[in-house]
A and B are shown apart, each in its own frame.
Chain A
Amino acid sequence: MPFYSEKVMDHFQNPRNVGEIKDADGIGEVGNPVCGDMMTFYIKVKDNKLEDVKFKTFGCGAAIAVSSMVSEMAKGKTIEEALKITNASVAQQLGGLPPNKMHCSNLGADALQKAIENYKQKSGGKNAE
């Protein structure tokens, strides 16, 4: 059996939404290069919806696939819906991840949450719950 599922390989080889949003409403970063994984998420919010989501990721195949999947899951969602995306639900959507990758590479949802937090702070708390 290959190390990664077909879905992980697809998202790794053809990642969706790679890039940066110049005038992002929120930016979230997790990980650091010493660990071998770092993800930066950019979000653009309009009418409480994630109009655009982009990311840049340094990391292994799983880290890149996770970022891609998170961006796909979050795009078009309301802030509240997007906050419900968890690392576990991302792994599930990817058809599972190898056990040793579950914690270290599966940080995409955390990075997205951070970007949303950052957006809430920037917008002066008016969107805070």
Chain B
Amino acid sequence: MINMREVYLENQANTAIDERVLKEMLPYLREKYGNAQSINSLGAVSKDAIEKARKQVADLVSAKENEIYFTSCGSESNNLAVKGLAAAYMQKGKHIIVSAIEHFSVLYAARRLGQEGFEVTYLPVDKYGFVSPDDVKKAIRDDTILVSVQHANPEIGTIQPIEEISGVCREKKVLLHTDAICTCGTIPVDVNKLGVDLLSLSGSQFYGPKGAAALYIKRNVRIIPQIDGGVQENGRRAGTENVPAIVGLGCAAELAKNELDAGYKKMIRLRDRLITELPKKIEYIYLNGPTEKRLPNNINFSCEFIEGEGIFLLLDGKGIYVSSGSACANKALKMSHVLTAIKVDTAVGQGSILMTLSKHITDEDIDYVLAEFPPIVKKLRDMSPLYDYFQKTGKRHVAGPGTDYEHEHEHEAEEDQ
């Protein structure tokens, strides 16, 4: 059997669990199975494990232990932040501000609030995905209770000027939430330096297990639970604690804190190899997102004249696992909202390919990608009528007579709700 190299470049979706994390977790899946709320000895073991993890997570983001609340996933943290805060402060006002390129767990939580009588302002971003602190300032009104801007965007890597945005929010006395799910464990995150009131993070993004995430809630910030029940998490999030996953999250947080510097320096170097070397090998590809203030593990290119799903399926056949923001690769059949917000040409954006590195990626992996990627692009371009037209005329295809516009409308009708 041929032993094909496997290069996993979808670390924005999930990271491989660190063996040391798994080892810490296993006793809590076996003999240490007590419910942390039980007052017997086995319960106390679980309770202690959770509190240790809370300290580890707090240390990762320079928070206090009693400001860390465990949840089940990043989406839950974001929902709790946006909806929980809106419910707690609705007497003060019913206006919230989010950026247009937030994760769906923020965007759709905001949309839900919009359906329930809140007003939502969606902040535009520039062509690199940056939110302007000045736009935040202009959008804030007397009845604004929350601004939510992600620390970085997982698709195009843009790291937002959160410190400046928090300055604006403090001045205007508005609370600020940041979704730091793709930055925690990848770049330094300090809640005090950032100046945020709430911050979401998830362990599965930094070599921890799925099933445990956290929300930092600054002291004195009120929040209404979105899951009612027991007194877990200081009454702010009911439900039996997922002890093994929380232990894993804590362990992953500690490892991330200790190993962050080495990890991200290596990733920046390998990221920049792909960003500089791929365009030398492939014509008509365009980097999405900024070159500066970019996540160390994020690479996103649009390959003109071809479609992203075709690219990633052929790369998949070579053991290279990537994703795409194209409409075809998206179950809703729409180009990604992030590429739309940075005004990527709709035809060009169909060829977008997202690659995110982990600490495990090596130079040999990058060499392999650089060798396998260009022939795949060539293969697809050789069968593309758009490329054919461009080759013959030097022009980009403009939908001409006979073009089936009804087809386009079909997509709109299928828009997800």
- A interface residues, Cβ below 8 angstroms from B: 4, 9, 12-13, 15, 18, 20, 28-40, 55-64, 100-101, 103-105, 107, 110, 114
A33 with B313: CB separation less than 8 A: no
B317 with A13: CB separation less than 8 A: yes
Say whether B143 faces chain A, with CB atoms less than 8 Å apart: no
A58 with B306: CB separation less than 8 A: yes
- B interface residues, Cβ below 8 angstroms from A: 305-307, 309-310, 313-314, 317, 326-329, 331, 333, 335, 346-347, 350, 382-388, 397, 399, 402-405, 407-408, 410-411, 414
- Least Cβ–Cβ distance between B18 and chain A, in angstroms: 28
Q: State the total of A-B contacts with C-beta under 8 angstroms.
A: 105
With A36-B350, A56-B383, A56-B384 as contacts: A29 and B402 at CB distance below 8 Å? yes
Give A85 to B329 CA distance when docked, in angstroms.
27
Tell which of A13, A38, A56 has the most Cβ of chain B within 10 Å: A38
- Least Cβ–Cβ distance between A13 and chain B, in angstroms: 7
Query: 9 interchain pairs (CB within 8 A)?
Result: A18-B382, A20-B388, A33-B386, A35-B327, A36-B307, A36-B333, A57-B385, A64-B310, A104-B407
In the complex, what residues of A have CB within 8 A of residue B410's CB?
A: 103-104
In the complex, what residues of B have CB within 8 A of residue A39's CB?
A: 385
A36 with B404: CB separation less than 8 A: no
Give A34 to B405 CA distance when docked, in angstroms.
10
B307 with A60: CB separation less than 8 A: yes
Give A33 to B333 CA distance when docked, in angstroms.
13
Give A77 to B310 CA distance when docked, in angstroms.
29
In the complex, what residues of A have CB within 8 A of residue B350's CB?
A: 33, 36, 58
A32 with B313: CB separation less than 8 A: no
B313 with A59: CB separation less than 8 A: no
A58 with B384: CB separation less than 8 A: yes
8 Å CB contact of A33 from B397, B402, B411: B397
8 Å CB contact of A29 from B307, B385, B405: B385
Given contact pairs A31-B407, A60-B309, enumerate 12 new A-B contacts (beta carbons under 8 Å).
A20-B388, A35-B411, A36-B326, A36-B350, A37-B328, A56-B384, A58-B385, A60-B326, A61-B309, A63-B328, A101-B328, A104-B328
Which chain B residue shows the least CB distance to A99? B331
8 Å CB contact of B404 from A15, A18, A31: A31
In the complex, what residues of B have CB within 8 A of residue A100's CB?
A: 331, 333, 414
In the complex, what residues of B have CB within 8 A of residue A107's CB?
A: 404, 407
With A56-B388, A110-B404 as contacts: A32 and B399 at CB distance below 8 Å? yes
In the complex, what residues of B have CB within 8 A of residue A56's CB?
A: 383-385, 388
B383 with A18: CB separation less than 8 A: yes
A13 with B314: CB separation less than 8 A: yes
In the complex, what residues of A have CB within 8 A of residue B411's CB?
A: 35, 104
Give A110 to B382 CA distance when docked, in angstroms.
22
A58 with B329: CB separation less than 8 A: no
- Least Cβ–Cβ distance between B286 and chain A, in angstroms: 15
A38 with B386: CB separation less than 8 A: yes
B385 with A34: CB separation less than 8 A: no
In the complex, what residues of B have CB within 8 A of residue A30's CB?
A: 403-404, 407
In the complex, what residues of B have CB within 8 A of residue A104's CB?
A: 328, 333, 407, 410-411, 414
Give A31 to B310 CA distance when docked, in angstroms.
17
In the complex, what residues of B have CB within 8 A of residue A20's CB?
A: 388
A64 with B385: CB separation less than 8 A: no
